[in-house]
Amino acid sequence: MDSSLSLEGKVAVVTGAGNGLGRAEAIALAQAGAKVVLNDLPGDAVQAVAEEIAAKGGEAAVCAGDVAEWATGEAIMKAAEALGGLNILVNNAGVLRDRMIFTMTPDEWDLVMRVHLRGHFVTSRFATAYWRDQSKQTGRPVYGRIINTSSEAFLLGSAGQPNYAAAKGGITALTLSTARSCARYGVLANAICPRARTEMTVSLMGQAPTGDRDPLAPEHVAPLVTYLASPAAALITGEVFIVHSGVVAVMAPPTLKASFRDLWSAESIHEALDGLFTADPPKAGFVTEATLPLAETTFGEN
């Protein structure tokens, strides 16, 4: 392995590591040389991932618990320090409660926001505080990597997922804020929008094809996560990636659509904007449908 891609001597935390994307990412990080702290809800699944990593010669520790709980964040940090410190944080834990906005219950909203957005905050809060203290003690930048899991749902304004889309939009904003506020300490933060067939998404994507490699298998997302965690990605921060089936797309920041000056009244605003929005019936703007053709890429193409 190229030494710039090696994670030897590094310690990584992966949330939601018992299944799907988290499992694939944890295994890939371990194969690259990292010691891994596996977080998920208590159960056999996350323990099985630890055993699988150990069987392949890696080292993993399980820190089970609700990632949105403050005490779990504290426990994750202690588990990482027991392995030698913390270098890499991969936030992946999530749930779905899909429903249209006009039928969604408060509990369905709160649960998704809590697990996704608060869960990302809790671990990021402890990790960045740890890295900031390290940097201040040593007087130099640390090796800190955060890879957060967003989704194209926030880019597309997913109609049946207002809670999920809002949480993922928040995660993207959290990633950008973290990248800007913690750069001085050596911390890099990026977000991925993966397409993967997991237990959480199988109802949307259907069952995997039989007899062939699944182009939407979580294992096809893991290489980008491993790369972003590595020394080779030392110049990448505050970016948003779409990744699936051998495809990696880097999103551009939002662009300015139009700008008008000296609009001091509703009448002048109407005059300026009247010709800008012409679709009838109106069509939602500020969505990023340009990502949809990526789905046409067949497995094995770059």
**Given 130, 143, 164, 227, which residue is catalytic?**
164
Which of 135, 151, 158, 230 is flagged as catalytic?
151
> Closest by alpha carbon to 17, among 55, 50, 54?
50
203 is catalytic: no
Catalytic residue at 164? yes
The rounded distance, in Å, linking the Cα atoms of 146 and 12 is 10
The contacts of residue 154 (CB under 8 Å, 6+ apart) are 165, 166, 168, 169, 172
Q: Residues with Cβ < 8 Å from 201, sequence gap 6 or more?
A: 96
Which two three-digit tokens encode residue 183? 């750069």
How far, in Å, CA of 39 to CA of 36, rounded?
10
Q: Taking Cα atoms as reference points, which of 157, 170, 164, 160 lies closest to residue 101?
A: 160
CA atoms 94, 178, 13, 253: torsion sign: positive
Q: Which of 10, 135, 143, 168 is catalytic?
A: 168
Amino acid at position 291, single letter: T
Q: Which residues are catalytic?
A: 151, 164, 168
